[in-house]
Structure 1
Amino acid sequence: MYKDETISSGQMTCLFLSFMLGSAIVNIPHPLVEAANNGAWLSIVIANGFAMLLLICILYLYRKNPNFTLIDYSQKIFGKWITLCLFIPILLVLFLDLSYIVIDIGGFFTNTMMRETPVYIFHVLILLVAALTVRAGMEVMARMFVLLLCYVLLFSIVVLVLVLPYYEVGNLLPIFPEGMKPVLHGAYRVFGFPYSELVLFSFLLPFVRKEKDNSLKKYMFSALLIHGLLLILSILCTIMALGPIAGTFKFSVFQLARLINIREIVTRIESFIGIALIVGSFMKTTIMLFILKEALSKVLKLEDKRIIIFPVTFISLLLTLTMFKTEIEFSEAVFVAFPLVMAVFVVLPLFIITLIAGFKGKKVEIKDDSC
């Protein structure tokens, strides 16, 4: 498979961390603490461990043939028609996931910063900018997201540090007030968003420039570990600062930023963390749209992949405006149904393809006529 664009292992790792972190550092503490209480950090440990297994499968397939996506492996193993049956649900999941990201950022705007503005304004703007970025190409995304990721990490960590006077370590106890069941419930939630989504990232690995030192594996495992540590840190800080009510505040890190008041000089900095959330959601929206473009063009065998960017963007916009009537419906879809959908339609096919590819024990080779 020939790619016009290639990026380094470090740039791909930056995209990977941007994709996994996205808006998670701001969004995850609320639903996770709501489900697992003080044991929410252990839910991250469990889910992150399972994500390591998924990453092992993805990198194993990549090592066998760096030019293959999951669709290529499926075509080689199962044939054209079974592959089509497997990947039509995955394409639907990609559309849903992209729409969920945009709905979330629209909800953030209408709930916190710009309550009177119609939500479709935010949906149109973020999808339009994401579509233009995808059209610019992988290399542009890789260079730009390095700076944007630094912004998200910087201001998220600055907020957690400045809230230090409000931390009460005693709020972390007891660790398991209701046993392990809530912890497993929390792991189920965080498995759906964001950890199971890393399977979709496998569509981007063929863009990595072939390097002799094979550093991609080391970088991506390090990025996944850093991601888990950052989520654990944000959860612990949220619990220590807000105590028993930590699970009632949506966008918890944004709420923490509102507490900051240093001699009435450093105050009202929640706008910075709000921008960090917007930037993180934009990066994830862009990467998800790029993955959807790659997967759909692979299934349709398109020569010019860019022609489907704006039609796909328009369909996603319609989904964001019509799928849910209330925030409760949206929360149930994301944290109850979506993890199960990802497990059945995305994670299970990955395991099956990895097992069969492993049993064959040799490098799979296929002529790709679509590139």
Structure 2
Amino acid sequence: MLEKEKISLRQFKILVLLFSLGSTIIIVPSVLSAFAHQDGWLSAALGITIGGAVISLYVKLANRYPNQSFMAYSELILGKWLGKCISIILYLYILIIASLVLRNVGDFITTIIMPETPIQVIHFAFLLIIMLGAGLGLEVIARAGEVFLPWVLLCIGVLVGFLIPQIKVERLPPILEISTKAIIHGSLSVLSIPYLEMIVFLMIYPAIHTNLKKGKGFIQAGFMGGMIIFSITLLCIVVLGWDFTARHTFPSYTLAKKIHIGGFIQRIEVLVAIIWFVTIYFKLVICFYSSLVGLQQILGLRTYRPFIVPSALILFALSFLVYPNIIYFRDFASNIWPPFALTIGLFLPLGLLIVSFLRPVSRLNK
């Protein structure tokens, strides 16, 4: 169990929204445009729609075992040993997500903001505040989300508002010029980042203090995050052009550099940096916390806190092994990660749901 920590449905929705934006808004537009060109916004819409169906699958599975985490009801459904194997697979998956997110932080800072700073220093500094957040627990993380969300939404609103004069609608046509296959392939990027990663929330879903409408809240928060991702992708295409967006690893950061109003409002890319740092912090701390709780449940211990420092060290090392450099990351995010995420984030919970219908819900769930 989650050490009896409880959060409200509103706090859970905030965490889902922040998680969905972390790393996605600054990376995914480039991959979408590389595949679907000016139809990248269609790929985003398709991926968000399928992502909503994936969240519905998670809700269906979690609601059958409302008081248990994913790892707990894996053992109820499949038995102790096979369920334990599934739990280990999910734990490794969450750990890999966390290492990828940490590497995204290092790549962004050393490429755009502080190119002379060793990436190891960036990773170490960011891990310190991640360890602090995980040590304070889920309730504190959720309350922090409530504090930061209004500022994130304000920055997004200001960014979108100031970019309206820069929009060139003629960059959208011809619509559907690219093949349907390319649009579908592009949609896998936004599906795998972040929707197939949201299986992480099945570890903290039981911590919501009410069972009323929490599945609906999960879906709503995922949809809201998707709308922001869609808007940023569309803005990148109509302001920067699909070719420019596809060439740059962090196009939404470049997007803010285009803002020039009255000769004195310009170079406010700090807004994108604020949005990204806040949202990616919450994504990473949620993944790190969930991995700790997962390890606690796999080993059958009362607390996860003794694992904070060892897990952080493992995460630090793993962040340098997931992919060799930022140039390789584009190929990793578009061709390697989607099928892996589909296997763990879709087929695994779908299989568990099917098996759960073939077996009666355990009394342990009551």
Taking the aligned partners of 2:180 and 2:266, their CA distance within structure 1 comes to 39
TM-score calculated relative to the size of structure 1: 0.93
Deviations 1:244-281, CA, capped at 9 Å, x for gaps = 42212222221111111222321221122112211111
Contact 2:96 / 2:322 at 8 angstroms: preserved in 1? Answer: no
Is the 2:39–2:178 Cα contact (8 Å) retained in structure 1?
no
> Could you tell me which residue of structure 1 aligns to residue 45 of structure 2?
45
Which residue type is aligned with residue 184 of structure 1? I
Query: 1:352 — aligned with what?
Result: 351
The residue type equivalent to 2:195 in the other structure is Y
- Counterpart contact for 2:29–2:236, Cα < 8 Å: yes
301-310 or 145-154, larger mean C-alpha shift: 145-154
Correspondence for 2:199: 199
After superposition, where does 1:179-328 map in structure 2 within 5 Å?
Answer: 179-210=179-210, 214-243=212-241, 244-328=243-327
**8 A contact 1:47–1:190 mirrored in 2:** yes
1:279 counterpart letter in structure 2? V
Within 5 Å, which residues of 2 pair with 1:94-113?
94-113=94-113
Give the Cα separation in 1 of the matches to 2:26 and 2:323.
22
Provide the residue aligned with 2:335 in structure 1: 336
In structure 1, runs of 5+ residues without a counterpart are none
Mapped to 1, the partners of 2:320 and 2:55 lie a distance apart of: 33
* Structure-1 residue corresponding to 2:128: 128
Asked whether the equivalents of residues 47 and 187 of structure 1 are also in contact (C-alpha less than 8 Å), the reply is yes
Cα separation, 1, equivalents of 2:73 and 2:282: 28
Question: Within 2, Cα distance between the matches of 1:204 and 1:97?
Answer: 16
- 1:220 CA displacement: 1.9
User: Could you tell me how far apart the structure 2 residues matched to 1:255 and 1:325 are?
Assistant: 24
Q: Cα deviation per residue 1:89-113 (whole Å; 9 max; x = unaligned)?
A: 3222222111110111111111111
Number of residues of Structure 1 aligned to a counterpart in Structure 2: 365
Asked if 1:366 is matched to 2:347, the reply is no
Q: Is the 8 A contact 2:21 2:280 kept in 1?
A: no
Structure 1 range deviating more: 130-139 or 315-324: 315-324
CA contact (8 A) 1:159 1:256 kept: no
Mapped contact 2:99–2:322 kept (Cα < 8 A): no
Question: How far, CA to CA, are the matches of 1:91 and 1:332 in structure 2?
Answer: 24
Shift of 1:347: 2.0
Partners in 1 of 2:26 and 2:320 — Cα distance? 23
Match for residue 17 of structure 1? 17
SS at match of 1:332: helix
Give the CA RMSD over aligned residues: 1.8
C-alpha distance in 1 between matches for 2:340 and 2:158: 36
Instruction: For 1:217 and 1:88, locate their aligned partners in 2 and report how far apart those are by CA, in whole Å.
Output: 25
Structure 1: how far apart are the matches of 2:71 and 2:258?
48
Cα distance change on mapping 1:316 and 1:171 into 2, 3 Å: same
**What TM-score comes out, normalization by structure 2 length?**
0.94
* 1:265-316 residue CA offsets vs partner (Å, 9 max, x unmatched): 2122112211221111111110110111111111111112111111111100
